[in-house]
Amino acid sequence: ANATAQPTRQDPVSYLKRYYGYDRFRPMQEAVIQSITSGRDTVVLMPTGGGKSVCFQVPALMMPGLCVVVSPLIALMKDQVEALHLNGIAAAYINSSQGAKEWREVEANCRQGKIKLLYVSPEKLLSDSFYTFLNSLQLSMFAIDEAHCISSWGHDFRPEYTQLNQLRRWFPQVPIIALTATADRLTRLDIAQRLDMHDPAVFIDSFNRTNLSLQVLPGNNRIGQIVKLLQQKPDTSGIIYCLSRKSCETLAAKLMEKGFSAAFYHAGMDSSERGRIQEAFLRDDVRIMCATIAFGMGIDKSNVRWVMHYNMPKNIEGYYQEIGRAGRDGLPSQTVLFYSFADVATYTQMLTENKPANLDLQLAKLERMKQYAEANTCRRQILLSYFSEELPEPCGNCDVCRNPRVTFDATVLAQKALSAIIRLDGRVPMNTLIDVLRGSRSATVLSNGYDKIKTYGAGADLRFEDWRSYLHQLINIGVIEVAYENHYALRPGILAKDILHNGKTISLVRPDDAPKPVVAEKAP
Ligand code: ADP
Ligand code: ZN
């Protein structure tokens, strides 16, 4: 798209200094700003704390006209706008809680060019009256925050976001910038397509947050383990994520009983109470926040030293986002996930009962999360490969790296699997692949002629279950990839070429050595 608005001549850094007090951009921010101010559609993937806000707020200040910011977090709009006001930036928001008078005031300010950034929910944005209003203004750009919500491949799909493709039809000349901290490969492609972007510039910041240590502990006697961990880090701030509101409350009470400075936070509390608790945490008056995932969105606290998960998250996107709230100041910070198979069972049951439209996808994402928790290889490599990023060496800062499992050279095994995957054109899911490798005479194999391919039966010496374990490990380290969009078929991953052609070797753990998940007690 071509921008009708040309950026002003002033240097972007002068805006950064004046409004945010920072001396220089982070490397990617500069490139993003260059892209959007030149009128190009832009997609930005940056981990939480990476500095996405500056990416659209500085251009909004530089360019003539109004920047419309779409955000699903209605509850946070007020905070976001107030934070901008504190920096001296003219911003406003519109949501359903406002009266007609307030709205007229915002409208008038926009018309007079007094507002640079207007925050709005997708529902409001797409209403007819709002279109008429916007059409009478000069617009600099649309900024779509939490852009993964537009994709049904994402973990937080919001149907109201899908209508945003209207923007391109209504305002073909206005560039769009989409920002998210959490999108796997498929979700990224989907974001650009659904917004009808033309030749977008895509910026992907590294997801590697090296200052976060990664650890998975068995989910038994969780409170005892938590107390021990907390005693090792007195006077530090952290978050313990729990699945249910009830467990947040009980856990906070138990920790207070033991003399810790703890509180709880969840969506069942009224907003003034939530605001009070959040404020206390920001000011370090409360150190330990026992919270549901409702806590943390949009909260900018740099000295969160640790994040624990009392329950396993439903998917890696959510997990990554939540642990990302630790160590935003770059200092070493600890993350601990308590894993019990009971959580997997609970989610599976919830999902199969609720039958969401994308049930299979959600189950597959849950499975990946479970594999992460059960992994025997570097956990950071697993996380990064999930976001299609390669970490060539194990990280040295996760529990597996610190306490390595006994491994064997599985290069030939990986080559067999890859060669079969390639001969099957990356079309078959795991069970079929194993059947082919083991030389099974199943109906699927025979009716498709899979028994004719060269690697048929090349892995007959291994049990079905062993192959499952090895394939999961190969997926986790990026040798094989799961094509969600293609019935979960397996295809070569980012490391495949090196293993097949460049002499790269690979080690795996024997299934019998893999630690077993613990079936744990119920909520506290
Ligand atoms: P995100 O939205 O990606 O989670 P934010 O936009 O909230 O991240 O930025 C995270 C923190 O980094 C904020 O405290 C912000 O003020 C700070 N920050 C952003 N850009 C810079 C910069 N160029 N230099 C220093 N700090 C920055
Ligand atoms: Zn590691």
Q: What distance, in Å, lies between the first and last C-alpha atoms of the chain? A: 54
Ligand 1 pocket test, pick from 20, 45, 80 with the greatest ligand atom count within 8 Å of Cβ, gives 20
What does the pLDDT look like over 257-266, one tens digit per residue?
A: 999 999 999 9
Amino acid at 154: G
Task: Tell me the pLDDT of the chain averaged across its residues.
Answer: 90
pLDDT at 520: 37
pTM (2 decimals)?
Answer: 0.75
Tell the residue nearest (CA) to atom 15 of ligand 1. Answer: 51
> What number of helices (H) and strands (E) belong to the chain?
23, 17
| Distance between Cα 25 and ligand 1 center (Å) | 10
pLDDT at 322: 93
DSSP 85-149: HHTT--EEEE-TTS-HHHHHHHHHHHHTT--SEEEE-HHHHTSHHHHHHHHTS-EEEEEETTGGG
Q: Is the pLDDT assigned to residue 163 strictly greater than 80?
A: yes
Judged by average pLDDT, the poorest of 3-12, 33-42, 302-311 is 3-12
Rounded average pLDDT over 388-414: 91
Tell the residue nearest (CA) to atom 20 of ligand 1. Answer: 51
pLDDT at 484: 78
Backbone angles phi, psi at 352, to 5 degrees: -70, -25
Nearest ligand by distance to the CA of 213: 2
| Distance between Cα 391 and ligand 2 center (Å) | 10
Kind plus residue range of the DSSP H or E element containing 14: helix 12-15
ipTM score: 0.97
| Distance between Cα 22 and ligand 2 center (Å) | 33
d(CA 300, CA 523): 29
Per-residue confidence at 235, pLDDT binned at 50, 70, 90?
very high
Kindly state the tokens that stand for 508. 């795996």
d(CA 6, CA 62): 9
Per-residue confidence at 517, pLDDT binned at 50, 70, 90?
very low
Tell the residue nearest (CA) to atom 25 of ligand 1. Answer: 22
d(CA 509, CA 497): 22
Q: Within 10 Å of residue 169's Cβ, how many Cβ atoms?
A: 8
pLDDT at 9: 58
Kindly state the tokens that stand for 173. 């000349």
Nearest ligand by distance to the CA of 84: 1
Q: Is the pLDDT assigned to residue 179 strictly greater than 60?
A: yes
Starting at the edge strand found earlier in the chain, the sheet holding 333-339 runs 212-218, 333-339, 304-309, 237-241, 288-291, 262-265
SS3 (DSSP) at 270 = coil
| Distance between Cα 52 and ligand 1 center (Å) | 7
Q: How many residues are given for the chain?
A: 524
Kind plus residue range of the DSSP H or E element containing 213: strand 212-218
Rounded average pLDDT over 211-232: 94
Ligand 1 pocket test, pick from 11, 54, 145, 328 with the greatest ligand atom count within 8 Å of Cβ, gives 54
Question: Which residues does a 6 A CB cutoff place in the pocket of ligand 1?
Answer: 22, 25-26, 29, 46, 48-54, 181, 300
d(CA 330, CA 445): 51
d(CA 493, CA 508): 16
d(CA 183, CA 185): 7
Q: Is the pLDDT assigned to residue 494 strictly greater than 60?
A: yes
Give the residue, 9 or 138, on which the prediction is more confident.
138
What does the pLDDT look like over 466-490, one tens digit per residue?
A: 999 899 889 878 899 888 788 889 9
Rounded average pLDDT over 185-194: 90
Question: Which of 171, 2, 149, 137 lies closest to 72 in space, CA to CA?
Answer: 149
Kindly state the tokens that stand for 310. 């009392």
Contact 67, 59 (CB under 8 A): yes
| Distance between Cα 54 and ligand 1 center (Å) | 7
Rounded average pLDDT over 232-251: 96
